[in-house]
Structure 1
Amino acid sequence: MWYISTRGMAPRVNFEGALFSGYAPDGGLYIPEELPQLDRETLCHWSTLSYPSLVKELCALFIGPELIPRDDLSGLIDQAFSRFHHKEVVHLCRLKNGLNVLELWHGVTYAFKDLSLSCTAQFLQYFLQKRKRHVTIVVGTAGDTGSAAIESVQGAKNMDIIVLLPKGRCSKIQELQMTTVLKDNVHVFGVEGNSDELDEPIKAVFADVAFVQKHNLMSLNSINWSRVLVQMAHHFFAYFQCAPSLDTHPLPPVEIVVPTGAGGNVAAGCIAQKMGLPILLTVAVNHNDIIHRTVQWGDFSVSETVKPTLASAMDIQVPYNMERIFWLVSGFNNQVTRALMEQFERNQSLHLPKELHNKLVEAVTSQSVSDEAIT
């Protein structure tokens, strides 16, 4: 399995190359060169699996046994989930009227990002030990990514982690989760400004390829492909738990409502859709509604201010995974994606072409949620 940049101007890399990267050298995000198509037989088999077994199947598809042999992969994923509080790791809670909640909060920091980051950290350790390398991870956070990333790598001998958090803008518990870890490889800094503003210098650093190589820098934000890959599993798991039957033709659809900030979880759902999973995606954002405006009106433009809300980890104006979604809905078109994103970076504003907007609306619907509704 090879990975290419959404902008099409960077050399292709294997899973290890994508794992150890931040942005691709051309400013794009890594995405699989081709998406496997899953037939009914595969979906029926996967429907019988536990959540950790589903993660193993998906990772095996996208990593390949020449990089991580199947037995090693299985051990790494078991290790990743060994500290979760629930024996199923992810649990479906059935409510009334056909409504279900997929509980993604059974990890150590109670953020759903524990799911993907615990696996990603295991993959990193595996390659670093093999190659006898050391890396420095640079993470900007609005709250939950930072604490989950620190938890996944604290104490590791071959990784240092630098986390930038927006001072006074994270929830108290998440700030404490980040600032009370006393391991030598964890370095946490409070930054003036909001989470989008602290992403700007990080992106500038990763654009300097020589600097990145000299210092062995990488990112664990959801620009990292491994994060998106593992997050695909809970869309499959939710579908299999909720679909009334897999014996009907065509397979019955299931609607999944995805709260999102930077769009990694939604991108994972869109990829699962493209692989043949019959899910309908609804994106739920807070007052910072750039994704909602994009879906509703094709208006992908940054508001003047990031509004603090009760869902502070989602207080994001620049949802970088929308680039992967534009690539998917444009029919894997690198040129279109590059032109759109370069215009957005120049002007902080973009109106989607009508045809692309129509494709986006076929893939997802959206809702913006007030603090009152959250309460």
Structure 2
Amino acid sequence: MRYQSTRGGVSGISFKDAVLMGLADDGGLLLPETIPTLSEGDIEALGRLAYPELAFQIISLYAGDVPSADLKSLIDRSYATFTHPDVTPLAHQDGIYILELFHGPTLAFKDVALQFLGNLFEYLLAERDQKMNILGATSGDTGSAAIAGVRGKQNINIFILHPHGKVSPIQELQMTTVTDANVFNLAVEGTFDDAQAIVKEIFGDVAFKNQYALGAVNSINWARVLAQVVYYFYAFGRVQRLTGCREVSFSVPTGNFGDIFAGYIARRMGLPIHQLILATNENNILARFVRDGDYSLGEVVATLSPSMDIQIASNFERYLFYLHGEDGNAVIQAMADFRQQGRLEFTVTQQERVREDFAALSVSNEQTLDTIRSFHEQTGYVLDPHTAVGVRAARELSGGECPVVCLATAHPAKFGDAVRQAISKDPKRPASLEGIEDRPKRSEIIPAEVNAVRDFLVKNAC
């Protein structure tokens, strides 16, 4: 399997090189040159496997340059850190299957990919006798999961930017209470989009990127998306065995387009997905794109689901590549237009294709609280606000033709304020969060300026 950039300037590189490159050197995002397709029999057989073995089978299709024994060891170690034996168990509540992706070290779906990526980075750096400085931006969950994936690891320093005062208190504490010497938390005086723009600009300076051996843990790294493809196959297999269904729909709360893009890849591989429901909060650029062909910038609104408080979706360029017929020049032009005008235009044919690929709904704060409240009253199950956005979209958009799986992206204890507003009590805290407010903390407040972040990185790089 070889990899190419969405902008056409990089092609023919190996999986290992794609992982270490992160953002392509031409500024694009990396994708496999071909997507393997699986037969109905293959998919049914995969659905019977335990999660680590399923992950090995799927990831092996894309990582042919990693010896099988090494890859299996990396995967087994990654998912041994999860507290549930099924890794991503399913809960059936009120006619909806909830895929619980929050049983990892930081109680969020990002752990599924970042436990694997952290171990993969350490393996590749040791193999090549290299060092790496990871630079990433987070709207909340990616940062803590990335830190948990690489804290204390050899030959790696990690620099995580988060929007100061715009993540949940627990999300912030999960990052800033990690005081390992190789971990640097930077609270940016701006929004997530500001932080992400800084990261992309720094990665776009290829000479600087190479000089300081920068690595990416955001979902711009293909390995992140690949690891998330696995749980679509896992959920389908479990639901099919329970119901005998031929197709399954998925409702995905998303702001950065990475989690639902993983589902899009799974469908291209042959997974019989009836609907991919894209659920957003009031920062609804993606929902507007699907419904109306309107991909235009708006102001970032603070919501009860802060991990989706995003107006520029980092993974959108990957989907644009396919929407433009895998034409790198068309993607370059589209991204230039977006930078200059803050919007993109799409033909009628393209809009029709988008609506074939996705359904979409934007969910307000009031609707989020109402969903948490009503779901708890009906089932006793507590949703976090992001998962509630997905459940609301599933209820409104799934037609009932087949089972629907909603991705539960975070544990409700990470968003206790929102849950308390909805059901008038705090969610139960897992053991990993007990006493977190009293732990030592370390972070730096920094202006939302490229040079400020670049200078900090230079002073602290490994």
SS in 1 for 2:118: helix
d(CA) in 1 for partners of 2:132, 2:166: 28
Aligned to 1:36: 36
Amino acid at match of 2:267: Q
For residues 57-206 of structure 1, the aligned pairs below 5 Å read: 57-64=57-64, 67-97=65-95, 99-206=96-203
d(CA) in 2 for partners of 1:187, 1:86: 30
Displacement after TM superposition at 1:367 (Å): 0.7
d(CA) in 1 for partners of 2:333, 2:318: 14
Displacement after TM superposition at 1:16 (Å): 1.2
Displacement after TM superposition at 1:154 (Å): 0.3
Amino acid at match of 2:198: P
For residues 1-375 of structure 1, the aligned pairs below 5 Å read: 1-64=1-64, 67-97=65-95, 99-243=96-240, 252-279=246-273, 280-303=275-298, 305-375=299-369
SS in 1 for 2:61: helix
8 Å CA contact retained: 1:44, 1:246: no
Displacement after TM superposition at 1:9 (Å): 2.0
Displacement after TM superposition at 1:244 (Å): 6.1
8 Å CA contact retained: 2:52, 2:76: yes
8 Å CA contact retained: 2:16, 2:66: no
Query: Deviations for 1:9-31, whole angstroms, at most 9, x for unmatched residues?
Result: 22432111111123212221000
d(CA) in 1 for partners of 2:204, 2:359: 33
Query: Deviations for 1:245-281, whole angstroms, at most 9, x for unmatched residues?
Result: 898xxx8221100001111111111111111111120
Query: Deviations for 1:105-132, whole angstroms, at most 9, x for unmatched residues?
Result: 0011101000000011111111111111
8 Å CA contact retained: 1:5, 1:12: no
Query: Deviations for 1:147-170, whole angstroms, at most 9, x for unmatched residues?
Result: 000000000121000011110001
TM-score w.r.t. the length of structure 1 is 0.95
SS in 2 for 1:62: coil
Amino acid at match of 1:334: G
d(CA) in 2 for partners of 1:245, 1:199: 41
What runs of 5+ residues in structure 2 fail to find an aligned partner?
370-462
Amino acid at match of 2:280: V
Larger relative CO (CA 8 A, sep 6+): 1 or 2? 2
d(CA) in 1 for partners of 2:169, 2:54: 34
What runs of 5+ residues in structure 1 fail to find an aligned partner?
none
Amino acid at match of 1:373: Q
SS in 2 for 1:284: strand
Amino acid at match of 1:261: G
8 Å CA contact retained: 2:134, 2:214: yes
8 Å CA contact retained: 1:143, 1:312: yes
- Answer with 311-320 or 342-351: which moved more: 342-351
Large movers: runs of 4+ above 3 Å: 244-247
Larger radius of gyration: 2
8 Å CA contact retained: 2:251, 2:278: yes
d(CA) in 1 for partners of 2:181, 2:204: 28
Displacement after TM superposition at 1:239 (Å): 1.2
Query: Deviations for 1:191-212, whole angstroms, at most 9, x for unmatched residues?
Result: 1010001112211111111111
d(CA) in 1 for partners of 2:138, 2:346: 28
Query: Deviations for 1:284-325, whole angstroms, at most 9, x for unmatched residues?
Result: 11110000000001111110x100001111101000211111
SS in 2 for 1:4: strand
Aligned to 2:390: none
Query: Deviations for 1:34-63, whole angstroms, at most 9, x for unmatched residues?
Result: 000111221121011112111111110000
SS in 2 for 1:262: coil
TM-score w.r.t. the length of structure 2 is 0.77
8 Å CA contact retained: 1:246, 1:252: no
Displacement after TM superposition at 1:374 (Å): 1.6
Percentage of pairs with the same residue: 39
8 Å CA contact retained: 1:330, 1:359: no
